[in-house]
Chains A and B, each alone.
Chain A
């Protein structure tokens, strides 16, 4: 004689439990994919390059003027760096690319990186120098020059009001450049601009309280 039995079905897990689980999984995934890249974190500035040490390493009481006096003459550094590069790369292009690292580190400083205008100008600068960094021989230097001057102007407007005249002059200077580095006249203009850019970069490398 047969016997057949039935039983209640085991309750399925609550749909809300599945929803919560999905949200947790999405949250964890978003955390790992969207967290700030360690490379984007502000780091200690590089000690090599055409510019002087950056402000964060400066003792708070040291006067900026003294520190600036210790910086080697930038016109000389332009010449030295150009000599070290292959013949295909112009001196101005080389110096601009080397300065781009320092500029990028500068605008990553805690008091500057959250400013929308600075971020925008930084993006412009990165775009303008991308072709130069790729080694495109036909790329004009002018967009990079103008973007660098604009970026420094944004930094000046953020915390260095007494450098307004210098940054305005630098921007005018950048706009007047041809963007080429072929003739001696162009090289001289570029060198002058880069020297001015380097000097201003040194100034804004120090905290504003040391400059003001």
Chain B
């Protein structure tokens, strides 16, 4: 039986930093397949053992179509697998071509730091 992957927030790992050829995308805009902004990268979820960033924790913009407003003092967040995005270093943007502003409402929201076992499958299914 394989060991479960332990995912940590980058800010909780003060002894780690981004590798030289890997930009720190926190604060960068996330754009959909149509180039329109969907939100902003707020945090990186990493696997310290593999020394890889696995997911981008994205805060969605307010007012996206069909996205219900978040509870007071909360944000509407999604996780994006790094393997599913393209990074534009010069434009400091992250592109996720499979999503658009009008389809992001169908993407599973990330409501808790704990990842349910089937959350990965849900994301992959939503991304086609």
Using a CB–CB cutoff of 8 Å, the interface residues on chain A facing chain B are 1-9
Min CB–CB distance A4 → chain B (angstroms): 4
Query: Of the candidates A2, A3, A8, which one forms a contact with B16 in the assembled complex, judged by CB atoms under 8 Å apart?
Result: A8
Name which of B65-73, B84-92, B112-120 contacts chain A: B84-92
When A and B form their complex, what is the total count of cross-chain residue pairs whose Cβ atoms lie within 8 Å?
55
Shortest distance from the beta carbon of B29 to any chain A beta carbon, whole Å:
15
**Could you give, for residues 3-29 of chain B, a 1 whenever the CB lies within 8 Å of some chain A CB and a 0 otherwise?**
000000010011111110111010000
B contact residues, total (Cβ < 8 Å): 25
Closest CB in chain B relative to A136 CB, distance in Å:
70
Q: Nearest-CB distance from B111 to chain A (Å)?
A: 24
Closest to B84 in A: A1
Identify whether the interface residues of A are mostly helix, strand, loop, or mixed. loop
Any A CB within 8 A of the CB of B121: no
Task: Output the nearest chain B residue to A5 by Cβ-Cβ distance.
Answer: B19
On chain B, the residues within 8 Å of A2 by CB distance are: 82-83, 85-87, 94
* A1: B residues at CB distance < 8 A: 83-86
A143–B86 Cα distance when bound, in Å, is 92
Tell me, yes or no, whether B78 is within 8 Å of chain A by CB: no
Task: Give the docked Cα–Cα distance between A2 and B53 (Å).
Answer: 10
Partner of A7, one of B25, B44, B51, B85: B51
Docked CA distance A5–B94 (Å)? 16
Tell me, yes or no, whether B38 is within 8 Å of chain A by CB. Answer: no
Docked pose: A2 CA to B83 CA in angstroms: 5
A4 vs B53: C-alpha distance when bound (angstroms): 5
**Chain A residue contacts of B87, Cβ below 8 A:** 2, 4
Interface pair B82/A3, CB less than 8 Å apart: yes
Q: With A5-B21, A5-B22, A6-B18 given, name 6 new contacts (CB 8 A).
A: A2-B82, A2-B86, A3-B82, A7-B17, A7-B19, A8-B16
